[in-house]
Amino acid sequence: MTDNSKILAPTAEWVIGLATSLSGVSRSVQDALRSPIVSQNACTKFYSCRKPRSPSLHLCVLRSLWPIACAILCALFLLFLLAYCKRNTRPANCLKAVQDTKQTREALKALLTIITPTCSFWPPNYLTAAKHTGSSQDTVIKLSLRHFVTDVLDGRIELRDARLDLPDFISGDLKTPDHKIRLHVELAWWLDVLEWIMTAQFAKTTVEICQSAKLDRLTKNSQEGAIKQQMRASAVKLTLLQANVDEHPVARSLDAVPRHCLEAYIRALQISLPTGAYTYLGITIRSPSVSFTSNSFVLAALPFFSRTSSAASFKDVTTALLVSPSLVIPASATRTTTPLFTSLSQILELLTSGPTPLSIKYVQNVSEEYALFLNSHVRNLEEDAKVRSGFVHKWGLRKWREERFLTAWEAGTVNAKLLDRWTIVVQK
């Protein structure tokens, strides 16, 4: 017996029973009509015929039964149509639902290779992305950058191994055996970037740094001693490069100098250095392959502008100009737009020009070492109990997550070749 006959068999039995019942009613009506006394009243009562206007009472009966016959035919047609639709669509829908569920599970397994939820349930955004991938039978899982960053900072998800996965994740080359995982950069990120660029020009610490740099140029004699003392107090050994030029070189990060104050700062540096002295300059620069209009620009700018504002004093920022980002001062107090809009050639030209130009001893790309340094910073935040508790006590748990994630993200952008780190050694 076919599936169609199985579905239609109960329907046929019901129709036969209905027809038998109707035939019994019809016989009763006919017997009543044959009676000469009751025929007139029966016709009047049951069939609304006060006086038969036709010569035959059977015609009145047929007219009365016609709506019932039409209803039965319509019911049979609808039942047949319903059975046909169920037979042809239900198995297909069930199979599609099973396939979609399987694809969704596979997509969630792929996501588990890089991220894991901190509770027993996935956040809704990742379930939606997995279901969309399963229903469309696509191999690309697209995650919202906004939701991804927010969920990490809020502690809803964790990266399994940021050091290994973030470079491929940022460059869009992260693959699992069956899926590709990519980030979707929303339009709102561009608005955030433009807002950050505009507000960075008028920040309070930016104005103070520029004024301080100009003051150094105008008052060379009075400021030179103070600058030298501050440089000696903040001097640290380089952990990225152990050069033979100076046993205790001073490392200055130009990332913290606002772009429109960069020339004034370098001129003040040229004046402050004693003759024959060396200094080390470090700067992060956007890769030439990353254009301003590409999504890669937002990914490269993320660790610079997305940190929440902190009450960083002018003293903290000027100290950050002399040393690498420390565990005491969050990187939010030491980042500007300079790395994204300054080229290496511009820096070299500023250093070798002016009233007291400096000589370039060597320029070296230290991107690999810088990424290792950033990852070690993240590892200290995670594994060193003293560092972790001190940071959380001073800045809070969310700020700790932010510093850890965005520092790892910066290391990922460096390894993904979106950013380059350069060390410049100059001598007066």
Domain chopping of the chain, boundaries: 3-100, 112-184, 203-427
The DSSP result for 337-400, as a single string, is SHHHH--HHHHHHHHT-SSS--EEEEEEE-HHHHHHHHHHHHHHHHH-HHHHHHHHHHH-HHHH
What are the residue ranges of helices labelled H in 137-237? 145-153, 162-171, 187-200, 204-218, 220-233
Task: Read off the pLDDT of residues 119-158 as tens digits, 9 standing for 90 and up.
Answer: 888 888 898 888 888 777 778 899 999 999 999 999 999 9
CA-to-CA dists, residue 242 to 249, 382, 421, 424, angstroms: 9, 26, 16, 13
DSSP structure class, residue 331: G
- Compute the mean pLDDT over every residue in the chain, rounded to the nearest whole number: 73
Task: Read off the pLDDT of residues 281-297 as tens digits, 9 standing for 90 and up.
Answer: 999 999 999 999 999 99
In degrees rounded to 5, what are phi and psi of residue 419?
Answer: -130, 150
Give the whole-angstrom CA distance, residue 175 versus residue 181: 6
pTM higher than the cut 0.75: no
Residue pair 419/287 in contact (Cβ under 8 Å)? The answer is yes
Proportion of the chain above pLDDT 90, given as a percent = 31
Task: Read off the pLDDT of residues 63-110 as tens digits, 9 standing for 90 and up.
Answer: 666 677 777 777 777 777 777 666 655 444 444 444 557 888 888 888
With CA atoms as reference, report the closest residue to 115 among 73, 176, 68, 69: 176
State the pLDDT at residue 309: 52
Architecture of the domain defined by 203-427: 3-Layer(aba) Sandwich (3.40)
